[in-house]
Amino acid sequence: MSKKYTSEEYIPVEVWGKDHWSTLAYIDALMVDHKGKFEMKGDARMRSNRRHFRLMPTPNGVTMSPEHGSRLLDGSIVAGHDDWCCVQDFANAGLLNRTPEQLEPGVVFKLSTKGNELVERLRVHKKNGGTFSNFKV
DSSP 36-55: T-EE-S--TTSSTT-S-TTT
Does any domain span residue 19?
yes
The total domain count for the chain is: 1
pTM to 2 decimals?
0.83
pLDDT value for 53: 40
Contacts of 124 (CB under 8 A, 6+ apart): none
Q: Is 54 exposed, middle or buried (0-12, 13-18, 19+ CB in 10 A)?
A: middle
Q: What is the DSSP letter of 6?
A: -
Q: Please check whether residue 8 lies inside any domain of the structure.
A: no
Query: Is 42 among the domain residues?
Result: yes
**Highest mean pLDDT (candidates 5-9, 52-56, 64-68, 123-127):** 123-127
Q: Is residue 2 part of a domain?
A: no
63 inside domain: yes
Task: Print the domain residue range for 84.
Answer: 13-128
Residue 136 located in a structural domain: no
The answer to the question of residue 3 being in a domain is: no
